[in-house]
Amino acid sequence: MTKYGSFPGSRPRRLRTSPVMRRMVAETRLHPADFILPAFVREGVSEPVPIAAMPGVVQHTRDSLKKAAVEAVEAGVSGIMLFGVPEESKKDAVGTPGTDPEGILQVAIRDVRAEVGDELLVMSDLCLDETTDHGHCGVLDGEGRVDNDATLERYAEMAQVQADAGAHVVGPSGMMDGQIGVIRDALDQIGREDVAILAYTAKYSSAFYGPFREAVASSLQGDRKTYQQDPANWRESMRELALDLEEGADMVMVKPAGPYLDILARVADAVDVPVAAYQISGEYSMIEAAAEKGWVDRERAILETLTGIKRAGARNILTYWAVEAARMVR
């Protein structure tokens, strides 16, 4: 046989000859501890409510949420990120349910902690969008714009009530300037230096959030382009990263995951703190819809996308398939 460079001596296919060989030389491995389960709990419902745009995902009751938390523990999942959906009549301009100790999110945090203790990291969404009647992540000024600094005051209160309810980790997702520093100060003021902050460092204004809006019964009017990042930019993400770390973030996150693997890789290369990525609702729903039509192999597509996210640099992945994926990779 004619020799072409190192061929026929070099044959990379030798390392792909069997499942055992491929497993042995795999450079990226998924593990149940990689995963964090986002979960929705809805006030005032007696049965879990299916989310039409996210087949297989529900708005939990308090009881079904506790069962979901137990399942996550049994599967070896590391954490559960809780989103509260209050009754529509309780929403107002400043998101009062978000700072009410009896608000649905705070109640759910206490429920899950009572059910699983420290066997699962209980993480809380620290944002106002689920609790405001206008659906924005912050307080509006007289001209209908999100008031950054007034919103920070609300975030400080939210951090404290979520910590008091038992959150191990708070996840400020609103993309307000200065939010990490204000939240860290608020937690430290009440002696909760032990509560970690997962910073939504690079959160882009994405079309893929669509199904999530149904999941949290969003009341959004307009869009969030004045505070979420422009998909065209990456240097902006690195600036946000530097600021979040300076302000005291314990972990950082890129959201969405799949369309922003380049950002994820840049962030992971730049830091020495844990990096997470959120495989969001639209990413989930596209695969579920294609699988339902028989266009893709569902399980292979799930594992391939999760592997790609981890390969790009995520130590942890928020995914609605967390429990199922953990079972698949065990």
Active-site residue among 203, 225, 293, 310? 203
267's tokens = 């962030």
d(CA 283, CA 277): 12
d(CA 273, CA 197): 12
Residue pair 109/124 in contact (Cβ under 8 Å)? The answer is: yes
Provide φ and ψ at 38, rounded to 5°: -75, 135
Residue pair 186/178 in contact (Cβ under 8 Å)? The answer is: no
Residue pair 203/175 in contact (Cβ under 8 Å)? The answer is: yes
Residue pair 98/56 in contact (Cβ under 8 Å)? The answer is: no
Q: How many CB atoms lie within 10 A of CB 276?
A: 27
d(CA 188, CA 205): 31
**Is 255 labeled as catalytic in the residue annotation?**
yes
d(CA 105, CA 97): 8
Residue pair 256/278 in contact (Cβ under 8 Å)? The answer is: yes
Cis ω on the peptide bond leading into residue 256 (within 30° of 0)? yes
Return the active site residues: 203, 255
